[in-house]
Chain A
Amino acid sequence: MADNVTLTIDGARVTVPKGTLIVDAAKRLGNDIPVFCYHPKLQPVGMCRMCLVEVGRVQRDRASGQVIVDENGQPRVVMAPKLETACTTPVEEGMVVIGASGRVKEARDDILEFLLTSHPLDCPVCDKGGECPLQNLTIAHGPGQSRFIFEEKFRLAKQLPLGELIYLDRERCIQCARCIRFQNDIVDDRVLSFYERGRHLEIITCSEPGFDSKFSGNTTDICPVGALTTTDFRFEARPWEMNMAASICPHCPVGCNLTLNTRREARSGGQMVIKRVMPRQNEQVNEIWVCDKGRFGHHYASSSDRLTRPLVRRDGKLLEAAWEEALELAAGQLKAAGAGLAGLAGGRLSNEDLYNFRQVVTGLGGSAALNTRMGGAEQTQQVGVGLGTNFAEMGPGTAILVVASDLEEEAPIWWLRVKQAAERGATLIVANGRPTKTDRAARYVIRYAYGQEVATVLGMLVTGSSEAAEALARAENSVILFGREGLDFAGSTALAQACANLLIATNHYGRPNNGLVGVWPDANTQGAWDMGLPARGQAVLPVGATASWIVAADPVGDGEISAEALRAAGFVVVQELFLTPTAQAADVVLPAASWVEREGTFTNGERRVQRFYPAITMKGRPDFQIAAEIGARAGLSVSSHAAQIMLAIAENVPAYAGLTYQKLTEVVKQWPEVGGRDLYYGGASYTNRQGLGVQVPSAAERGADITAGKLAAPPPPARNGLTLVPVTVLYDRSTTFVRSQVMHPYVPRPYVELNTADAARLDIQDGDTVTVEAAGVRVTLTARVDGRAPEGVALMPADLGPAVPAVAGPATIQKG
């Protein structure tokens, strides 16, 4: 094949695509050429010089370009006089690479000795010790004795915080620039840089606040030495004393694959606790990255205010009770309610929890609903992205439309993947009411007035209406990611339908890299819909409810219903991790196990079902088990074993037909190889040995008749004065995140963001205290005036404390 090249590396022949670098070609053979600066996800720089090899090339006649052959008729190969860096040299046909020679060994020894001359060799107190490429390569190549005089070592003060999350040890740094390159090339947050030169060259942060990036933790994984460590993990544990458990991130719909490092430790009362969260490779989901919310947002599981014992209301007070008593009481009351039973579940529950919950609630004659403000899952079930969809494969010929979503704040890893697809040549179209970081990578930016989301997408259905619409229609593959910014349930459902109609009209569904993706508020919103839970209505509880069973939802805390109103609707059973305002209003509170204490599956936004595993000592009981136990006491037979529940799901949910826990555990060899014994190549991210998950087919792929839904664009909203738009910020005060104290410096105080012109009109300065009144909400908070909000629009982040209106609408803002 013309696009392939065959070469010989240390005597072994390998055929690889043209343009492959020697280091990668060797890797395919299992020949680990040592590297420090090279990383398969980053552009090569050839800085560390560790990967020097001997390279021989086929000689060609200068004039004719013909290969010169020797007396045996073989192409004549001439070895280059100097060693070359395997990480920057692309393969050539007939090339001969020698890495196993004495000359190469000597060169690597030389480079390693150089690196060690200034290295503090403080492995015994270094967090990287045990999983350190420099340590491993020192054992392989390092001299037993130093020829460098100890006092002449280059010394610098240690423990330099780059930000609130990452510490830099400049003595350990070997100036490979992996961190800088990750921030520049992969994330495009150019917050790290080199400073000074020569032996004084050091990493600095050039952002204010320091290391201002939502992906900073990844630099500690790819740092080939212990120069970068996290505030969360430094001096906490040694790599070899920790266990590993595969998991899925519970914070957003991306579904990043994680490995939880756990340890049983005395200071935690002899319990298994999570010491750190590491990315686990899944090239179709998160590659080898994870955002800082996923990495540092695990502390809620081990929070000391977790509920551990059931609570039962006696004489108006919630008092601890035995499980048996609490379950009996709850089951009796819920069964008695019959058709008056209103079940409400949150999207952070697993498929097994949600399935069992629905089985029990409907089995008792009640109605179960999903506590969500975002609709559109019926549309993603119909024309969601096709089987085999992978952002990493999108490039020229693919169009991606992101509408009503601030990807970096809502699904950070999707921002990285969409950005990289755009850099490879995909056409990125971003439609939103305000500028977001996603605009940076966009070829077309569509700016609409809030309220015009549906009209904007429907407008793209008109042939020739805009270049962006043409690009999307003409593209071989098109994907639409829709969010909910400024929209309530009805609005986001209409937007999803408009997007579905656009995909149907342009025939972009039912195949790989085509279709619809919901940027959901929770990790398993899609799964909840798939498990057959309809979204709740405008009201938290349906009319006529006589008892409620609320799981992993806090409508009281969210300001959607008062405790009094909830209690007025009869007996209240709440299943929760914490004593939330909703739990405080309950008659029975059942302590649930957190996701890291039990088994389960989440279905991500790309409708990939992924399995997570128990990692630490369980507190409470799994939600699916509680549901089964209540069911059993009410005379219903429901399994309380996760794997069995999945079999039931596979039987009853058509899209999930054939799914088993075994299937979800299947893995294939992924490229690039990470996490193996050669840590230096891919970094400390974990190899995926516990399952890549299984994508479930859309209705279109299951042969359903797909037709566009009827939809009329709503009339343009009247524009009088300011429109208040609720927006999502990644670092918020939600129940499952606020308990990560390490992240508190990054959680903003409640604020409303105003356009400079509006602020001037209202005589409001940046930092002023203002009062916002909108849709029955009246809050006092801080004003930000930094020109990011469009004129006439005030942005107010949700989940920072004060309740925000459900939908964009008119508001008044005044000073004081």
Chain B
Amino acid sequence: MPADETAAGLPMGSQPATPPPAAPEPAPVKYERLLLRHRDIPDLHRLEVYRQHGGYQAFKQVVTTLTPKQVIDEVRASGLRGRGGAGFPTGVKWSFLTKDSYPRYLVANSDESEPGTFKDREILERNPHQFLEGVMIAAYAAEAHLAYNYMRGEFWDIALRLDAVLDELRQAGLLGQNLFGTSYSLDIHNHLGAGAYICGEESALLESLEGKLGQPRLKPPFPADKGLYQKPTVVNNTETLTNVPMIMARGAAWYKTIGTEKSPGPKIFCLSGHVKRPGNYELPLGTTFRHLIYDLGGGVPSGKPVKAILTAGASSTVLASSDELLDTPMDYESVAARGGALGSASIIVLDESVDLAWLTLKTSRFFKHESCGKCTPCREGTYWMLNILERVNKGNADKADVDLLQTVALQIQGKCLCPLGEFSVTPVLSGLQKFRADFDGHTRDGKGAPAKPSAARPAGTAARPAARKAEPTPAGD
């Protein structure tokens, strides 16, 4: 469960062992939560409470007074960008729908499977109506009469509750035929995936939703042209859609006052790793890492300095920590300027005890496990990288194997069918680039590398049975 953070942003409880941050502390900003409103409004997940707080007014207003195009224009004007990771402007995405092609579908991507990402879960559990209202408004804008909420299979308990919520909405006349006396009709269905990371990729999600094996499709055509059942489809992240009712209720101009010019609006940052108070923190885009990690997250429990930060879960570039990084605003452009990507804003904090060879073993194991197998470089390359990293971590490798790891990662890069394979190499390549010594320190011929055992290493990992001696390549192979 996410920890509560204080609005004042000051850490409470145990005394941080770190010296105060070097940069001057910005004045804490009193910030109105828009996406995690349930933290301020008890029982917001109940329909009557949500309606008491203006719920579904925006949807009614949209359906009864606006054209779909007006909705798209408003969302476009708000500058809302996709919160799933890519940060593509939402209103622009909606405007790409192929003209005069019907039926159309709206699909909410609640697959949330990036390691370290747990924002959509909280929305679905605690603030489901705001999300569903977003789905409804987006469906109206897309001229879709059917919307699907695709959730990862592990969300089965949430799906059960959301099924009841949808029934309630149907009974309340908020879903169904001829809504508010207009000609517009809409229904929403929940759909559970079967436990595959790749189904968070929109085209694999659509395949899965169609009942097929979850493998990504070729692009183009994009979903806006040929999506679900080859019909124009909008696929939006859950958090993105949760922004929409607020935009429609209060207007694009108001929305743009939050965040930065190019990255407007609020964002939920999923803070985890070596911080005292991990959890979801809703903040305006452009908040600094330092504010999140130290002021809100309470800093590093061990008091050690931060070694690196991952901003997008396992898909992240490893960002080596520095004062400049800590003072970087967390928005799409500023993080990109640092060589990373904000992605889904899963901020994983790594203190100095973390061994990057161990970390990339974890991420590689994840990607090897989650590779769909459709394209060669990802299927074979993730398997190969994992094999090398296992040998490195077991002390069963030479520096030449670390070189090979880099070669294999470069061999995957730029050749994959979808982003999964490309993501699999980002932590490896950036880890090697910035913390090569962590890898070399495990090797038989590595010298002077700080191969300290990681505090975060789960018990047992180091004590795996003695690994087989790496053989020189057999001549016949």
Contacts and interface: CB of A to CB of B under 8 A. Distances in A.
Interface of A: 44-50, 52, 82-83, 88, 107, 110-111, 113-115, 117-118, 121, 145-152, 154, 174-175, 193-194, 196-201
A441 to B, nearest CB: 19
Given A44-B218, A107-B415, A151 B376 contact: no
A110 B415 contact: yes
A150 B382 contact: no
A193 B477 CA distance: 30
B441 interface: no
The 7 A-B residue pairs with the shortest CB-CB distance in the complex, in nearest-first order: A201-B373, A114-B380, A198-B371, A146-B477, A110-B411, A199-B383, A198-B373
A556 B380 CA distance: 62
B25 to A, nearest CB: 42
Interface string B213-226: 11100100000000
B464 to A, nearest CB: 15
Contacts of B415: 49, 52, 83, 107, 110-111
26 contacts: A45-B218, A46-B218, A47-B374, A47-B375, A49-B415, A49-B416, A49-B417, A111-B377, A114-B379, A114-B380, A114-B384, A118-B383, A146-B477, A151-B471, A154-B383, A175-B373, A194-B213, A196-B373, A197-B196, A197-B198, A198-B379, A198-B382, A199-B373, A199-B382, A201-B372, A201-B374
Contacts of A47: 374-376, 417
Contacts of A147: 404, 407, 473
A49 B373 contact: no
B414 A149 contact: no
Nearest to A194: B213
A184 to B, nearest CB: 11
B340 interface: no
B387 interface: yes
Contacts, number: 111
Interface residues of B, number: 37
Contacts of B369: 198
B126 interface: no
A197 B196 CA distance: 9
Interface of B: 196, 198, 213-215, 218, 368-377, 379-384, 387, 404, 407, 411, 414-417, 468, 470-471, 473-474, 476-477
Given A46-B417, A114-B411, A199 B377 contact: no
Nearest to A112: B376
Nearest to A117: B380
A200 B474 contact: no
- Residue among A48, A82, A117, A196 with the highest chain B CB neighbour number at 10 A: A117
A558 B417 CA distance: 58
A88 B221 CA distance: 11
Contacts of A146: 473-474, 477
Contact of B213 (A83, A150, A193): A193
A194 B379 CA distance: 14
A547 to B, nearest CB: 66
B379 A50 contact: no
A83 B414 contact: yes
A308 to B, nearest CB: 48
Contact of A150 (B215, B379, B380, B471): B471
Contact of B473 (A46, A110, A150, A154): A150
B471 A198 contact: no
A47 B381 CA distance: 14
Contacts of B470: 149
Given A49-B417, A147-B473, A114 B376 contact: yes
- Residue among A111, A118, A121 with the highest chain B CB neighbour number at 10 A: A111
B364 to A, nearest CB: 12
Contact of B379 (A44, A110, A175): A175
B373 A117 contact: no
A155 B411 CA distance: 23
A118 B218 contact: no
Contacts of A115: 376, 380
Contact of B377 (A46, A82, A110, A151): A110
A117 B375 contact: no
B149 to A, nearest CB: 24
Contacts of A152: 387
A83 B414 CA distance: 7
B404 A149 contact: no
Contacts of A52: 415
B411 A199 contact: no
A110 B410 CA distance: 10
- Residue among A82, A107, A197 with the highest chain B CB neighbour number at 10 A: A197
Given A44-B218, A88-B218, A199-B383, A111 B473 contact: no
Contacts of A88: 218
Given A83-B414, A174-B376, A175-B379, A117 B384 contact: yes
A246 to B, nearest CB: 37
Contacts of B414: 82-83
Contact of B477 (A50, A82, A150, A198): A150
Contact of B380 (A83, A193, A194, A199): A199
A111 B218 contact: no
B387 A149 contact: yes
A150 B469 CA distance: 12
Nearest to A146: B477
Given A114-B381, A149-B470, A48 B376 contact: yes
